[in-house]
Structure formats: C-alpha cells, structure tokens
Structure 1
C-alpha cells in the first residue's frame, strides 16, 4: 500500500513539474511579445528571430553541457532516462522515512523545468540590446551564456557547490527560492555589460544630454506579453516548490501562487501611481514594467510572506523600477525595454528582502550571493562581448540601424504596409 502511495506521489510530482515547466516555457512568448511591442516596427522581425532562436539555443546548450555543469552528471544528458533506479532508490529511502522524504520526481522532468529557466535568463539580454546589435553576435553570446556562464553560477547556488572551491554561499545563508538573483539579476548583469559595449541607439540622446523618447510600435502587443509573463510566473515560482503530492506541499504551492499574483498587482499599482506623480499621466510602459518588477521581487521568496507583505513588496518594487529606468536614462544607459531595471535592480531588491520573512536567510549571505552572481556574470559576459566585438563586431552599421535591423539582418519586414 505504501509503495502504491509513493508511486502515485512520484507520478503527481513529476507531472506537476512538467506542467509548471510548460508554463515557464510560455514565458518565452511573453518576452517575445513584450519586446516586439516596445521596439520600433523596423526591428520587430529581428526581435522575434532572436527570441525564438535563443530559446532553441538555450535548450540545446543546457542539454549538451549546462545541466551537467550546474547539477553534475554526464554531458548530452547521457543516462537521464534511466529513472527506474531512481524510483527504486527513492522508494527505499522514503520507506525508511515513513514516506515523508525529500522531493522525488523524474530526472528528465527536472531537466525540462531547469532548461526553461535558462532561456528566461537569456531572454532578459535580448530586450536590453535591441535595435542595434548584430543578430549573429547575440546568438554567439547566447551559446556561451546558456552553456557555461549561467550554469556555473547556478552550480554555486541551487547546485550547492563552493564558489571556485573557495566558499559556500549556502553556508553563508544565501537563499533564492526561484531566482530573483540566480536567473533575473544574472540576465540583467549580462545585459548591462552588452549595453555598455554597444552604446546607445542613434538619436536616443541629444548633443546637450537631452533624453529623447523612442516609443514602441505596438503597445497592445507589449501588454499581451506582460500578461503572458504574469501567467507563466505561476509556473516559475509555483514549480520551484518542487513538490505537490502531500498536504504541506499543496498548501505551500497555493501560498506561492497567491503571493506571486499579489506582488504583481502591487507592482503594477506602485508604478502607475508614481508615474502619475512624476509625469502627470498614466504611463502604460511603466505600468507593465511595474507588474514585472513585482513578480521579480517576490521570486526570491514567495512562500513565507503574508499576502499583505507580498503586495507591499510588489508596491515598492513598482516604484523602484520607475526610478531606476529614469536614473539609467540620465546616465545614458539605453535599455529599450527597461530590462536592466526590472530584472537587475529589482532582482537585487528581491534578494535583500528575503530575510524579512525567511529567518533561514541572512542579509550577509544575500549580499554575498548577489555580489558573486553579478561580478561573475558581468565579468564573464564582458570578456565574451569583447571577443565578439574584436572578431565579427557587435553593432550593425549606422545605415542599417536607420533602415532597421529587420531588413539588414533578416531580409523581411514585420509590418510591410507601414513605415516607422
């Protein structure tokens, strides 16, 4: 009887993992639509191409070596389908513990859930470098980011390994439930490095330092992308509970879903209110980024806050992202979609508030973890960007930028009946 109960729990947890992974995969559509809506129409096809190809690249590189670097095992997922041994070993361990042990699920389902996180991290880079980076330069970087840079920092955090064999972030009290730092801040660190190497889009800043708005071509598409991301985040955070097949885990999953939604709502409200105070208008792009900021902030710890705390965390994150976007513009860091602010600045905020509700985490550990992730990803990314710039170049020509990356890089237009 106990064996049957265990097998049912194993099947349920594996299925839950796969469904949550599929939800996170759908976030790729959200990033694609969000970015396509916030760039000019002449750069839409290139954005679509980048996002779909980076997802395929992430899946392939994480299969080849990324998963092995992050969690151990063989390259090319060799032997990952041999789950019968895993089931038998887990059954024995669970029987010894009264069937109340750790999470147990198919190794293949674990890979699938992890690989969509890699793609999410890389998607953050795409929006920040939009409208002026060469397509193939970006894709070469994606190979290194998803196959090596991200998996290595993941091995120090979720993988539990020491940082270059020197110290343990886990032992220092670092905690990042679903990846405010490990996924989001890491993607923003790579994006910031790329933006610094690229420089701003032509015409973004005037000769006297004035900031010129470059509006996106399709705000309905951007709004749709945000709502898709909002929905996908339930899989992102909910799946990170890693279990569903018992009462305690089911309650934890429900609380994570509740808090994820509450933080997004708070973020949207916070950004809208602050934008109204600053601009005197309801700024849709700030509203969208505010919702995403709330989601990023709660990702580091969505299970322990109360619903009110989650809403307040989101509210603060929404205000932070508005101020960050304005501040980065003032120092001429051109980020067309606000990715560095949403995922980087707010990702750091999410890490730092974890100890407020989770006593297992320490502020020192959170700072150490954030610094380790940022420094590693930023430095490693800068080396890769520098090599690419010295070989094939990073930036499209001025003429191609004026005409649009769609024609220059892809040979087609997204909206051939319009010009922008």
Structure 2
C-alpha cells in the first residue's frame, strides 16, 4: 500500500510538471504564429502571467473550487493554501499543484485573443480578475462538487473547464480589442498576417501534445490497474486523427496540405478528447478527434469571415473543439467507462447525458463570456483603453512595452516585419 501511495503521488506530480511544461508549448505556438516584433513580449507575458496566476490560485482560486461550506457558485475554505495532508492515497499539496497547472493553462488560452495588440497592464489586471471570478467558478461547478457535478456533467480533464472557459474569455477580448491593424480591408476582405516561424509553431504543438499526457492521463490521479495508459492511448489517437481530419479537408478544399490547419487539427483533437478520454472506447476517440480536425478548419474560416481577429485560433481550437469534445461524451460514453453521469446515446443512455453536456456547455460558456466581457469592458473604461496605440502596435510590443526586441540582431527600428 505504501508503494502504491508513493507511485500515485509521483505520477500526479509528473502530470503537474507536464502540464506546466505546456506553457513552453504555448510560448512557441503563439510566438511562431505571430510576428517577429512581438516575440519577446509574448514569451515574457506568458511567464509573468503564469506566476501571477499561481499566486492567485494559492490565495483564493483553490478555495473557490474545492473549499468546503460551498454555495451555489464557489467553495469557501482553504484560502492561502498550506496543507500537506494525505487525502486517501494522494498528498493534498501534490493535488494542489496539479490543479494550479490547469488553472494557469486556462488563463494562457484566454490570452490568445489578446495577441499583438493588448497593453501589458491589461494582461496583469485580467490575470488577477479571471483567476478570481471566472475560472474557479466554472471549475467548482464541474469538478468541485457544484451544481453541474450534481447533474452528472462529464468533463474528465477539462474540455469545458479549461478550454471552453479560456476560449470564451478570448472571444470577449477579441471583440473589445478589435482586429489588428491591417487584418481586414474596408470591404471586409481578409489580409493574411502570417506568423514569423512555422517551425516554432510545430515544435509548440509537439510540446503541447506531450504535455497533454499529463493533462489527461494525469487526471486519473492514480497508477492503479494502469488505467492511465488507456487514457493516454485515447489521447494520442484523437490527436493523430485530428491532424488527419484537418489535412484531408484542407487538401480537398484548398488543393494543398495546409500546415497551420494540420497543426491546429492535432490540437483540436487533443482538446476534444480531453472531456471524454476516460469515458469512451478507442474507436470513438479516433472519431472524436477526426471530427474535431474538420470542425476546426471550418471554424477558423468562419471567424475570419466575420472579421473576428483571432491570431492564435483560440476560439476554434479551444472553443469549437471544446464544445464538440464536451458533447461527444453524450454520444460515445460507454456503460463500462461512464463512472460519472450516464452512458451516451449510442450506448443505450438516450438523450439524458447529451442534455446534461449541452447544459454544461451553455451555462459555462455563457458565464465565462459574460463575466470576462464585463471585466474587460470596465477595464477599458478605467484604463483608457485595453489596447496599445497605433504607433506602438506598428513598432511592435517588444519595443513599445518592454524597450527591447526578442530578436535584437534581426529586427531594427528602421525595418520592422
């Protein structure tokens, strides 16, 4: 028993490390998908906001999610967390770090909608308010014993809690910040603003792919019977089929194998399987990922045509795929694996679980969007804008916000790409 307790704690701690490592994947993904003149800013703000998000989670985020004496919205104990008790077979401090990693990922996803035009101060203030008022509330509803948990909402590792929450905050930001300079013409036509390093983007996706084994398989919180291996298998299959789905649809419609579509297809497969990885059979994981890859391709085009400037495609990868992944358990959850909620439609469960999943998507997505929008709207009024000036955006956020370039040898004041 002592050995199993040790192994469980080591496994969850490894999961936390892998999820934290995903921040490095997001740095490369976001830097590679944007322009050279903003690379240093993107890397720096990701590290800083991870730090501030960690502090807020310690102060009150964990308490709001998992605290006792809870009300309809949040828990109300364990503020300024300092426990190291053994809860069952898991150290409470290890579990705390694992949950902290998830909270900061949601924040990083949200910031995809701020890219290349938000003030650094906007990131700082929104990090604090999102980590207090948005993420913990939804996490409590689903993972902390809240009202959606009581309804049997299935979200094993966070398609709703982490990905949809972050995406809806990103949507609020993109609407209030408005598009980047030069992204759309007066007639509404789209100008492509290409990222400066596709290799960085691909490497970022690979790091995220690896980190996702901590995200999903780590959420088993145990090495017992090796079930984490099954979850990891489903995760990998969905990522591969997501990339394949995006490849095929882009090749069919564009006549070429579009690399950004393939990369985002893999991520969409990962996001989609996050809710269902422990509840569905392997064949269903392939189907879920494949559909996610196709959906993300159409979603990217959908938002672009409506002049919603989403540089990192957070709305499509984490929002659209997050919705599909959450709903997918309502179709594919098996009788044997549905340890939470009920079996899906295809396994004799009727429409009940699908209805619960839809309720969770609607309530969580609406709450995340509305509260984020109100926070940012108030910030915009009080801070005299969320966005840098036109001149500062043209120069680049590396220089205008931080006084130095991410690539000092390649970028000069005279020539900015």
After TM superposition, the score normalised by the length of structure 2 is 0.90
How far residue 306 of structure 1 moved from its aligned partner, in angstroms, is: 2.5
Q: Give, in angstroms, the shift of residue 410 of structure 1.
A: 1.0
CA distance in 2, matches of 1:69, 1:309: 34
Shift of 1:308: 2.3
CA deviation profile, 1:17-53 (whole Å, cap 9, x unmatched) = 1001100110000011100000010111111111111
Between the aligned partners of 1:157 and 1:314, the Cα distance in structure 2 is 23
C-alpha deviations, 1:368-409, integer Å up to 9, x for none? 111111111111111110111011220110111111111111
Partner of 2:262: 287
Q: Specify the SS of the correspondent of 1:157.
A: helix
SS of match in other structure, 2:90 = coil
Q: Could you list the runs of 5+ residues in structure 2 that have no partner in the other structure?
A: 68-76, 336-340, 343-352
Partner of 1:218: 197
Q: Deviations over 1:204-257 (max 9, x none)?
A: 01111111100001111111000000000000000111111x32xx1x211111
After superposition, residues 361-400 of structure 1 pair within 5 angstroms as 361=342, 362-392=353-383, 393-400=385-392
| Aligned-CA RMSD value | 1.2
- 8 Å contact kept, 1:69–1:148: no
Matches of 1:226 and 1:289, distance apart in 2 = 8
Contact persistence 1:50–1:126 (CA under 8 A):
no
Aligned positions, number: 386
> Is structure 2 residue 186 aligned with structure 1 residue 201?
no
Name the counterpart of 1:74: 78
**Map of 1:52 onto structure 2:** 47
Distance 2:174 2:124 in 1: 15
Could you tell me how far 1:316 is from its partner in structure 2? 0.7
Aligned partner of residue 186 in structure 2, secondary structure: coil
2:325 corresponds in structure 1 to 350
Q: Please state if 1:144 is matched with 2:134.
A: no
The structural deviation recorded for 1:356 is: 2.2
- Tell me, in whole angstroms, the C-alpha distance in 1 between the residues paired with 2:374 and 2:150: 30
How far off is 1:287 after superposition?
0.8
**1:268 pairs with 2:243:** yes
- Which residue of the partner structure matches residue 310 of structure 2? 335
Please say which of residues 339-348 and 171-180 is displaced more in the overlay: 171-180
1:97 is matched with which residue?
A: none
Alignment partners' CA distance in 1, 2:254 and 2:402:
37
Runs of 4+ off more than 4 Å: none
What TM-score comes out, normalization by structure 1 length?
Answer: 0.90
Residues 1:307 and 2:282 aligned together: yes
> Take 2:277 and 2:78, find their aligned partners in 1: how far apart are those partners?
32
- 3-state SS, counterpart of residue 149 of structure 2: coil
Structure 1 unaligned segments of length 5 or more: list them. 91-103, 162-167
Residues 259-317 of structure 1 deviation map (CA, whole Å, 9 limit, x = unaligned): 10000000111111111122211211111100000000000010232322211211110
